[in-house]
Amino acid sequence: MTLTISRDDLVSDSVSNEELFLCETPLIENIQHCLDKLPAYTKKSVHASLVATSSLYFVRCICNSELPISRDTLTSYIKLIETSVQKGTEAVQQASSLALGAVSHRIDLSIYLTEWLPHLRHKTNFTARRGWTMALGHIELQSYITLLLALCESILSEKDIEAKRNAIQSVGLIFSRLTYWEDPAIVTRIWSTLTDCLDDYTVDQRGDVGSWIRIAACEALVPLMKFSSQENVEKTIGKILRLCVEKMDRVRTVAGRTLCAIVRQWPVSEESLLEFVGTAKQTGDELFSTPSKVYSSMASLLSLECYRKEMLTGFLISAGGLGESLVPTSSLYQIDVDSDCFDCLGGLS
């Protein structure tokens, strides 16, 4: 039976919602096939990246909606994402990642992991590794153990800075979605790996690209903290304190946020550290982003012997900064510290 609705009926509001829905059902069912109707030349033209990004945005939106999508159509979406995630444009890779996350709401993607995880290895070109380390953090699974172990291995072995950064961000993204975790050994391994990333000072022609790793590791530690045991936190806090007095404003700011978030969840924090965090929370990012404020405020924490070596390292690093206001400020608070603090300098490299 074909339902016919005249224009007059629509204008007069005499048509019920049910009748209108029946009329539009073919249209609704056909929306999912829109990408199949794209002319082939659009995928090879100078605007191919724009078409790919728009197509991936379409996939993301329709998968997040309540519109019907057939299994065959979802498979075609996955093929589009697999192709796009390996492209050299970061914007396309980001769109692919978000689209893949949306597809995971409609279908169990764990069956694809055996096919996707090998893309994280060095035999794959670096562009593909960057895309997959980013995309895999967006998918939702029943169990993340296999994926997290693969990402952890990628962080440990990856030489490409962007791919390593993306893997770290994906780990943080996964744990930010979790409310429960039953394997403490995996959490301990990942926590240790991220803590080691706080020591990444890789430099290339672009400058201190290791700062991308340090920032990503700081941000990923925050959602991981609620699942972590307390044994290794002291070592991590020492490294974060070092980053809080480093030369780069962005690093100090992110490290400051991480410090405040972790110390609040750590039941054995020292009183002076808790007082500092309380003050930092009131002032916000301004304290850590302003050299004249952060160095004077944090010099008092050098009285904590367990963190002293790391903090002095941060002061020395900031003293080597290029900013005219940064060098004298950080140097001043190095010199103005009690002389007993410098007994450990012999152990600094």
Phi, psi of 126 (to 5 degrees): -65, -30
Query: How far, in Å, CA of 133 to CA of 166, rounded?
Result: 5
pLDDT at 178: 92
Torsion of CA 246, 247, 249, 251, to 10 degrees: -40
CB 56 within 8 A of CB 64: no
pLDDT at 158: 94
Tell how far CA 253 is from the center of its chain.
16
Query: How far, in Å, CA of 63 to CA of 185, rounded?
Result: 35
pLDDT at 26: 67
Among the residues of the chain, which ranges form H helices?
A: 7-11, 17-31, 48-64, 71-84, 90-103, 113-116, 126-135, 145-157, 161-177, 184-197, 210-225, 233-244, 249-265, 271-283, 285-289, 291-298, 305-319, 326-335
CB 247 within 8 A of CB 321: yes
Query: How far, in Å, CA of 105 to CA of 73, rounded?
Result: 14
DSSP assigned state of 207: B
Hey, where are the domains in the chain?
53-102, 130-228, 296-334
DSSP assigned state of 114: H
pTM of the complete model beyond 0.75: yes
Q: 182 by DSSP, 3-state: which? A: coil
pLDDT at 23: 52
In the chain, the amino acid numbered 117 is L
pLDDT in tens, the chain (349 residues): 444 444 454 445 554 554 444 455 666 667 777 887 877 777 777 778 888 999 999 999 999 988 889 999 999 999 999 999 999 889 999 999 999 999 999 999 999 999 999 999 878 899 999 999 999 999 999 999 999 999 999 999 999 999 999 999 999 999 999 988 888 899 999 999 999 999 999 999 999 999 999 999 999 999 999 898 777 788 899 999 999 988 888 999 999 999 999 988 887 667 888 888 888 888 878 888 888 788 888 888 888 888 888 888 888 877 765 554 555 555 445 545 544 454 444 444 4
